[in-house]
Amino acid sequence: MRNQFSIVCNGLLAGLFFSGLVSCADDAPKPKLPAAFPAQTTANAGAVSAPTGAATNAISTANSNAIPPAISNAIATTNSNAIAPTMPEAGPSVDPLTSSATSNPSLIELPSITLPKPAAWTWVKPSMQFRTLQYQVCNPSSGKVAPCADLIVSVFKLGDGGSVDANIGRWKNQFQNADGAPAQPTRSQRVVAGASVTRVDLKGAWKGMGMGEAQNNSEQLAAAIELPQETIYIRMVGPESTVEAARKDFEAMVDGLTPRAPLVK
């Protein structure tokens, strides 16, 4: 009997003890849960709408490097050149065997021949399209300063530029006698270094291509040099006093013609 009573008492005491524990646990302050969802939402919104400075720079750098620099530069160059630049002035092409401003001043050099000349005849840029070379010839020994003459060299491949006779006819029509009739040329022909050379002299009032008014008391010394593959025309034209003063040098130039290679017809 006593044992049963002890068991009952012990059971009641245990029940009261656990009941107190549960009550104490319920009365304890409950920890606040973190605002997981709002924080996560804010974090997501920041990641999308406001990337960090480093991320922004990374994106910008990636985009700028999407096209390799070489290709980007090529595209920029192509676009800048989409409109063709202004075409250069018409003139003869540069040839290493053709005289220039820095060449030997005592020679006229062409791919096929060379000719001696006074160093005082100075190279100038050709003023017209079909002039391969052009020099200025002055007469410093004259009592008064006289206008200079032009020494003009034109090279035409065989069949181009018209025949020698056609060119002489054109020159004749550029010179007039005092009565207004075309001047009559003095013409001669000889062979120099294997090349046929036709010499032509003209005097009178000269009105060349593009000239507004005729220039009185003018003269032209000319030589047409016929080679197997081309014809070279050399003309000295200008005031008669200047041209006459250079006549001997002009003749020496033509007589000094030297082919660069043997002439083969």
| Span 142-153, pLDDT tens digits | 655 678 999 999
Based on the fold, state whether residues 75 and 194 are members of the same structural domain: no
Residue 176 placed within a domain: yes
Residue 161 placed within a domain: yes
Based on the fold, state whether residues 61 and 127 are members of the same structural domain: no
Residue 102 placed within a domain: no
Based on the fold, state whether residues 63 and 146 are members of the same structural domain: no
Based on the fold, state whether residues 152 and 246 are members of the same structural domain: yes
Question: What is the rounded CA–CA span in Å between residue 243 and residue 204?
Answer: 13
Residue 239 confidence (pLDDT): 95
Q: Is the distance from CB of 123 to CB of 99 less than 8 angstroms?
A: yes
Considering 65, 80, 95, which residue would you say is the last residue of a domain? Answer: 80
Residue 147 confidence (pLDDT): 87
Residue 88 placed within a domain: no
In three-state form (DSSP H/G/I as H, E/B as E, the rest C), the secondary structure along the chain is: CHHHHHHHHHHHHHHHHHHHHHHHHHHCCCCCCCCHHHHHHHHHHHHHHCCCHHHHHHHHHHHHCCCCHHHHHHHHHHHHCCCCCCCCCCCCCCCCCCCCCCCCCCEEECCCEEEECCCCCEEECCCCCCCCEEEEECCCCCCCCCCCEEEEEEEEECCCCCCHHHHHHHHHHHEECCCCCECCCEEEEEEECCEEEEEEEEEEEECCCCCCCCEEEEEEEEEEEECCCEEEEEEEEEEHHHHHHCHHHHHHHHHCCEECCCCCC
Based on the fold, state whether residues 76 and 113 are members of the same structural domain: no
Mean pLDDT is lowest, of 33-42, 97-106, 161-170, 209-218, for 33-42
Based on the fold, state whether residues 158 and 245 are members of the same structural domain: yes
Residue 68 confidence (pLDDT): 53
Residue 248 placed within a domain: yes
Based on the fold, state whether residues 198 and 154 are members of the same structural domain: yes
Residue 58 confidence (pLDDT): 45
| Span 82-138, pLDDT tens digits | 444 443 333 444 578 999 999 999 999 999 999 999 999 999 999 888 899 999 999
Based on the fold, state whether residues 133 and 219 are members of the same structural domain: yes
- Containing structural domain, residue 251: 107-259
Residue 139 confidence (pLDDT): 86
| Span 181-191, pLDDT tens digits | 889 999 999 99
Residue 14 confidence (pLDDT): 46
Question: What is the rounded CA–CA span in Å between residue 148 and residue 71?
Answer: 55
Based on the fold, state whether residues 136 and 17 are members of the same structural domain: no
Mean pLDDT is lowest, of 25-39, 65-79, 134-148, for 25-39
Residue 87 placed within a domain: no
Residue 145 confidence (pLDDT): 67
Considering 31, 61, 80, which residue would you say is the last residue of a domain? Answer: 80
Q: What does the angle CA 94 – CA 98 – CA 101 come to, to the nearest 5 degrees?
A: 80
Residue 99 placed within a domain: no
Mean pLDDT is lowest, of 17-26, 61-70, 228-237, for 17-26
Based on the fold, state whether residues 36 and 162 are members of the same structural domain: no
Domain CATH number, residue 133: 3.40.1000.10
Based on the fold, state whether residues 156 and 114 are members of the same structural domain: yes
| Residues forming a β-bridge with 182 | 176
Please state the domain count of the chain.
2
Considering 27, 62, 80, which residue would you say is the last residue of a domain? Answer: 80
CA distances from 150 to 182, 221, 251, 252 (A): 22, 11, 16, 17
Question: What is the rounded CA–CA span in Å between residue 136 and residue 236?
Answer: 9
Question: What is the rounded CA–CA span in Å between residue 223 and residue 242?
Answer: 18
> What is the value of pTM for the model shown?
0.64
Based on the fold, state whether residues 201 and 163 are members of the same structural domain: yes
Residue 127 confidence (pLDDT): 87
Tokens linked to 102:
């820095």
Residue 221 placed within a domain: yes
